[in-house]
Structure 1
């Protein structure tokens, strides 16, 4: 048994009691289905042909037994249908939760290489197809096996020659089923890939709908969607074609079996080798024999759909997070805020963004990073909370290599305010509370005051309980930025990173946010990435990054006096 098979079966473990009950009901359903033709045979052969003296009473008694069996059959089927499906749904839920947790452990590098729509498809559509397999798989196999073996025993006892004729069809059916089953599997896999592409395209277009409409490029997005949509339709065409040949072909085979039984059974009756009552029982049992074949057909379909979904599920689950806690990683008891880069190099693919860089930031120091686009300012800051791991060298926090610190502990000590603010759908209160989920309302309001956000919040329709929409679309850029700063105030971390937090704002909003940032950075180690150099004139130290590493560093006045790269950048902005 390979590891994937073990993983597949492991999801049954929490629901073993329910599975056993489901299997017991499946056994009962199979036994009753086999017993009903025997009850009919008892009436036709043992009662009517032998003309028993109490024939009417025997018929009524057998009718009562059959009625009880039908009621029991119905109850068991209802249990299988409801509780069995719920078992599958709960297992599906467990898998979806596991995959979602796995996604959250992945680093930024993983998301750089993946499409959100494809990840969503693996969490929804792919796992959805497993519900039916987990429920109907064991049940269909159990019922099919019992009915097939039981029907075979009954048929052999009625007429061996006729039974052998029936079983001559089975090898042909098996070869036919295996061939088209493989074609179905390939088509289903392609179809799941295509629906993932559609989801990725929809997610991309809707996320950028404001850009789409501002450039009146709806026709371009429509064209891209139409392309992905047509590819999906073509993949479904292949799938439906294989499924049609598979399903309808097997139905044709089962009908041929019935025809063969009637023809050869009728011939046997003419030669007085088979009684009418036995032929009637034989035909009823053929129906029971065909039903397991149909169940196996259904199982094959569920298996292929579920297998392709499970394979895509496991492909994601088997991608190990490239950033994990070391076995002996420690919790941070107290953070002063000394950050040191020692000969740090980093590359995304093949090209180095940072090469052999060394930098020390003292506890409580306010350091600004400036430089042209693409020199690695944001990358440098992303290495501190280990959103990416260094390719070479090391980063120390209070003298401890950050790889030896638990990720949760490390990131809890760092507050980040980005240029592209992400606010969640919900209320103002919910979004600020994200900084510390256990915070009281009073603490949230205090954080908003410190971030100069309280006044504008109180002017909103419902104050702190105002719904701000998806990604905070109901707020201005400055308002969103102040909420993000309030969120970091609430978190109260010893280390702060501002990633071009004011570059896209108007002058009034910039001043308000600059004041909030200065309040927040008081007595904290602060690293600021600045686009507008006017915002970092008060920084304790300005570090100028170039393609070759650190070009120069010093205070605003010192760097202007040098007349180097910083002075050129500053003078260039003054003339714009």
Structure 2
């Protein structure tokens, strides 16, 4: 939790003034019982109204000073805590932006949301408490103890015994509650993950009539969260009754022994009343320590979870203003390239020892069975993941030596899952090129075969679409994603199964427009249908992560059994007929 001091440093003046004003408020609170004793001893007992009025006015002044100090303390502490929370959220968000996909795989979406919201709120409350309650509690305890001992030293053992008993109880309470709070936050992560998945997949849930199953799944994680929260609450439920018992027992003991001293005239009645007030203040401050202990336990868990994200060394370091006017020609070379989604080489390899070369401007297709590694290879080119072994080069340079901003601005990628954002169609197409003109946006849309359906919409390019493009069909979303990739004017264009939702006529028009308009662009297309790639200059065939064939369609039909099997299945002809055609 020590790193939190660094977040408080920019607001150092307010972070200093807040506890100082709290100390002033505590000083005023500690002074009041002393003034009360003077009123009783010098005013009430001798029936001196002037003394009562004099000390009464002073008590009122002390009360007003304490009130003003408390208000100022709360104001400064609130500003500091709110700003610390805002800075933590900003740093968490910024750090997540630097994560590679491999690092993002370590944290689920639900847990990242919990850490940016609930955990930051817990830490924020702790920062505010640190400037208020954590100053007030020890201040009242120490100040009250000193003032009580100045009034009567012989009764000090009662306060000391109460403080020791409370301290031992709080120690064990904190020790048992910390692990429970860790489990509470982990279970809350599970709840958020299920909620996030459910909302994102609501259409699939309704389409497959899985409402009952999803309600049961949510009920299970919600029940686990509730059970551990109840368990933590049961432990904390001991807190207030035990502390109240100790406090009331201490006051009762003071009344017994203090009353005897009053009867024996060894302790003035005013001092006795003030002493009771100081004992109450001291024990009340120890009650605050129990609340502080709970806050610390919760904040420690949350701070550790936040720190786990902040200390994850994001591998990406994309600088927006890096020079991006350099040129990439689009020559791609894989040299004994292997890749695994795990953190080390012990995990199963998804790509195994790939070696091939793609010339600048060449149009290449990648085909293979499901799970053969097609999409995985495309994600290595813009360094969404890093290769496990071997090397991937662009224009003869290892991609690890090319600045990320340059590499990614020269690569246009249409991912397997089409992601659109809430906003206008124009904004979505210009997502990677926010300064693009309307003509540039329209030109990219025409190549992507999206212009016609866009102009038929009520507001054309200004038409607003819902989150993830829910108001558009699958084919329309794919065409917008393709237009977005084209608008960045890439040197390398990657299609990850991104024409699967298009009809054959639209796909044919799209591929023809790409050949005419983007002749100098190296194009790599992951495809499922041989009919859409048979005219490509080069086709790479992957099987179980290995390159088993490379060449044009006719060559692969004749020489690659994997390709021939796919071709036979899709064309509805037998292997024997294909072999006769080859002969």
TM-score range, shorter chain: over 0.9
Q: Where does residue 110 of structure 2 map in the other structure?
A: 117
Identify the match of residue 497 of structure 1 among 491, 494, 508: 494
- 1:299 paired with 2:303, answer no
Identify the match of residue 474 of structure 1 among 471, 476, 480: 471
* Segment of structure 1 superposing worse, 279-288 or 64-73: 64-73
* Segment of structure 1 superposing worse, 469-478 or 30-39: 30-39
The Cα offsets for residues 135-158 of structure 1, whole Å up to 9 and x where unpaired, read as 111432322222222211211111
Q: Where does residue 9 of structure 2 map in the other structure?
A: 13
**Shift of the alpha carbon at 1:442?**
4.3
**Shift of the alpha carbon at 1:77?**
1.8
Q: Where does residue 406 of structure 2 map in the other structure?
A: 409
After superposition, residues 194-233 of structure 1 pair within 5 angstroms as 194-233=187-226
Q: Where does residue 26 of structure 1 map in the other structure?
A: 22
Identify the match of residue 96 of structure 1 among 76, 86, 89: 89
Q: Where does residue 463 of structure 1 map in the other structure?
A: 460
**Shift of the alpha carbon at 1:183?**
1.6
Q: Where does residue 450 of structure 2 map in the other structure?
A: 453
Gaps of 5+ in 1: none
Contact 1:344/1:393 (<8 A) preserved: yes
Change (3 A) 1:314 1:519: farther
* Segment of structure 1 superposing worse, 254-263 or 447-456: 447-456
After superposition, residues 211-360 of structure 1 pair within 5 angstroms as 211-321=204-314, 333-349=326-342, 350-360=347-357
**Shift of the alpha carbon at 1:193?**
0.6
* Segment of structure 1 superposing worse, 34-43 or 544-553: 544-553
Q: Where does residue 63 of structure 2 map in the other structure?
A: 70
**Shift of the alpha carbon at 1:496?**
0.7
* Segment of structure 1 superposing worse, 500-509 or 100-109: 500-509
- 1:385 paired with 2:390, answer no
- 1:485 paired with 2:482, answer yes
TM-score w.r.t. length of structure 2: 0.92
- 1:431 paired with 2:424, answer no
Contact 1:339/1:361 (<8 A) preserved: yes
The Cα offsets for residues 515-567 of structure 1, whole Å up to 9 and x where unpaired, read as 45445643111111111111112322112223373222222333345474434
Contact 1:338/1:525 (<8 A) preserved: yes
Contact 2:74/2:132 (<8 A) preserved: no
- 1:160 paired with 2:157, answer no
TM-score w.r.t. length of structure 1: 0.93
Contact 1:85/1:131 (<8 A) preserved: no
The Cα offsets for residues 27-85 of structure 1, whole Å up to 9 and x where unpaired, read as 11111111222222222223444566xx42x4334333333332222222222333312
Q: Measure the CA separation in 2 of the matches of 1:37 and 1:519.
A: 91
Contact 1:419/1:503 (<8 A) preserved: no
Identify the match of residue 554 of structure 1 among 551, 554, 560: 551
How large is the Cα RMSD of the aligned pairs? 2.3
Q: Measure the CA separation in 1 of the matches of 2:527 and 2:449.
A: 21
* Segment of structure 1 superposing worse, 40-49 or 495-504: 40-49
Q: Measure the CA separation in 2 of the matches of 1:318 and 1:80.
A: 33
Q: Where does residue 43 of structure 1 map in the other structure?
A: 39
Q: Measure the CA separation in 2 of the matches of 1:197 and 1:430.
A: 34
**Shift of the alpha carbon at 1:126?**
1.2
**Shift of the alpha carbon at 1:206?**
2.1
Identify the match of residue 538 of structure 1 among 535, 539, 552: 535
Q: Measure the CA separation in 2 of the matches of 1:429 and 1:262.
A: 79
Change (3 A) 1:508 1:473: farther
**Shift of the alpha carbon at 1:444?**
2.8
Change (3 A) 1:169 1:538: same
